Structure 1
Amino acid sequence: MTSFLTDLGFEHRFDFVATGQIFVRGRVKAIVSLINEVTQSIVSSNPVDGCFTDIVPEKWRPLAPHVWLVEVSVVGSPADESLHEELLEFMDLLRPLVTPGQVDHAMLMCQN
């Protein structure tokens, strides 16, 4: 994937580690995490997964210490109309705490 993005002209800026928690209620999943920039990595030998040189983060620092990334998703059939309503109801509960943005994965799939 990284070579594909490089071939498309994207520039690698930094590696990151996400630290956080996953919450599940019914079909709704919320992931709350801090994004940390990797400041020091080590090269590790791990023959178990077939790759003998892995770059493993050793030290990192928070990119924005008081900014949390909140990802909300629901699992179900696209034909289930209540799925969208369930997600919107949960987002309304988060609205006082979170500035929402939305990714429509169906539209992304159609662009390919």
Structure 2
Amino acid sequence: MEVFKRAGDVDRYLIRLDQGDDVLGCIDQVIRENGIRDGAVVSGIGTVSHAVLHMVTTTGYPPVEKYPVWEDTALEVCAIQGMIADGVPHLHAVFSDAEKAVGGHLEPGCITL
């Protein structure tokens, strides 16, 4: 992972991940190491070889949730965005293959290809 910081009225970070990096783990690391309390993740693109999403599958309460996993599967990362609140990222992601796109909450275990 390589981190580029641009300081100013609002600090901005660009994170370049290496093959095998855990996407959410690296984002967490940048948050911790830079003392980021609140912020926004505005863009994330690339490819993963493993993916885990968290999805709510019902409209009732309590919600029924599922955690689909893709292992050894090349998926395009079409988008990652969300917020950082009190030092905790809450991010949504959209992944696609040649057939479909799927979205949900980004979970640990999304590994860069």
If the TM-score is normalised by the length of the shorter chain, which range does it land in? under 0.3
TM-score by length of 2: 0.23
TM-score normalised over the length of structure 1: 0.23
- The structure that has the greater radius of gyration is 1
Which has more strand, going by share of residues? 2
Which fold has the larger relative contact order, with Cα–Cα distance below 8 Å and residues 6 or more apart in sequence? 2
Question: Greater helix share, 1 or 2?
Answer: 1
